[in-house]
Amino acid sequence: MESRVMDVALLLLLVLGSAASAFRAPRRYSPDWPSVDSRPLPDWFDQAKVGVFVHWGVFSVPAWGSEWFWWRWKGQGAPEYVRFMSDHYPPGFSYADFGPQFTAHFFDPEAWADLFQASGAKYVVLTAKHHEGFTNWPSPVSWNWNSKDVGPHRDLVGELGTAIRKRNMRYGLYHSLFEWFHPLYLLDKKNGFKTQHFVTAKTMPELYDLVNRYKPDLIWSDGDWESPDTYWNSTDFLSWLYNDSPVKDEVVVNDRWGVNCSCQHGGYYNCEDRFKPSSLPDHKWEMCSTIDKRSWGYRRNMMMSDIADEAEIISELVQTVSLGGNYLLNIGPTKDGLIVPIFQERLLAVGKWLSISGEAVYASTPWRVQSEKNASVWYTSKGSVVYAIFLHWPENGVLNLQSPKTTSSAQITMLGIQKDLKWSTNPHDGLLIYLPQLPPSALPVEFAWTVKMTGVE
């Protein structure tokens, strides 16, 4: 009898041990969309809210038109690009000849990181490789077309990553799946993407190398629109990334992994450049926008009228966060590695605004109402606290809000000002908040002011 009791006890221990082990085992993701799409998005991304995007590469040398210079010139034969080259460069000058001129002479990763930190950004995304195929790190499969062999003779990805992480910001890498003129890609394209010469020899080796070498917090994929995800082996890569890579627990990816993936599959959604949903999406998303409205890369011929002003940028940021998105603001450095003063000024203006208003932005969640009908007041929340960010100062100094319902414990303040604000309600006008009567220079920010409300529903 005693022996049977011991056998039962031993069996019970084995069963319990097996169950505990199974409970502790990390989930494995299989290489298919239903599985990889089910992975929860790491919390850091939604809490970060604001990032800086950096488009930098050989396209920063001609610095004319846009970062799509090579394609416009040789792929499309656009007359203005052909004329630009004939006017400014000798006959026979090739795009590869721009490579040695991409010097990054003045690239100071510490200074860049200081600027990005001062902008209030919580993450930075650098172009590791754009569609031109030039890699900003010593890629083992991009011989003589990378920043170590040509031009800077430096590991730009590695240097910036080290500086960014010293400041406790997250580091992301943009990577284009395709390359406009790579012979293997053109061969696969000619074969109707039935072959994968380019994927096996170039794209996938580079993605695995970037992850293992730099351990990025974010992979911003692009260049996916000509071919299906099955050509790119996207789900194979993502299942490895989530299961076995050195960043499997923290890494975040976007949605550009093949034709019809955008806004459908991946981690968070970009959907399209400068995406602006009309209502609250049910999936985490990011708006990428650029200070120079006509280009993501630096242009020598940009005009002041092409530059987004401070109020425009902050308004875009506010609306994005109210609708549950992250805001990724782009700048393009020069071929020398300088960030021109107008871009610095815009980034610092965002940082100055966030130093006062960041409480309503970082780690916030969308409220039950995202905006007032006039679209000049946008809401965010944190727990029971509601923030109303108003883009226009009312002429009579009274802010009228229809959406919040006050309780007996309601308290209203303005971020950057210590004193409570007076308020009242009436059936027709809703909540009336009496704003501080101060000269503009005494207000905490120049535009997009925030009232903080507790005890409202």
Please report, for the chain, how many H helices and E strands are present, in that order. 14, 14
Under DSSP, the state recorded for 391 is S
What is the distance between the alpha carbons of residues 449 and 59, in angstroms, rounded to a whole number? 39
* pLDDT tens digits for range 406-447: 998 999 999 999 999 999 998 887 899 999 999 989 999 999
pLDDT of residue 274 exceeding 50, the answer is yes
Q: Cα(416)–Cα(189) distance, rounded to whole angstroms? A: 57
CA dist., res. 401 & res. 433, Å (int): 8
> Rounded to whole angstroms, how far apart are CA atoms 445 and 231?
50
Is the confidence at residue 3, as pLDDT, over 70? Answer: no
- Residue recorded with tokens 């949605």: 255
Amino acid identity for residue 6 in this structure: M
Q: What is the pTM of this model?
A: 0.94
Tokens of 88: 């400014």
Cβ-in-10-Å burial (0-12, 13-18, 19+) of 417 comes to middle
User: What share of the chain has pLDDT > 90, as a percent?
Assistant: 89
Question: What is the model's pLDDT at position 21?
Answer: 46
Confidence of residue 14 (pLDDT cuts 50, 70, 90): low
Distances (CA, A) of 146 to 140, 216, 236: 9, 19, 26
**Amino acid at site 92:** G
pLDDT bracket for residue 24 (50, 70, 90)? low
CA 428 centroid distance within chain: 42
305: DSSP letter: G
Q: Tens of pLDDT along 160-217? A: 999 999 999 999 999 999 999 999 999 999 999 999 999 999 999 999 999 999 999 9
Reported confidence tier of residue 17, pLDDT bands at 50, 70, 90: low
- Measured CA angle at 327 (ends 377, 209), to 5 deg: 170
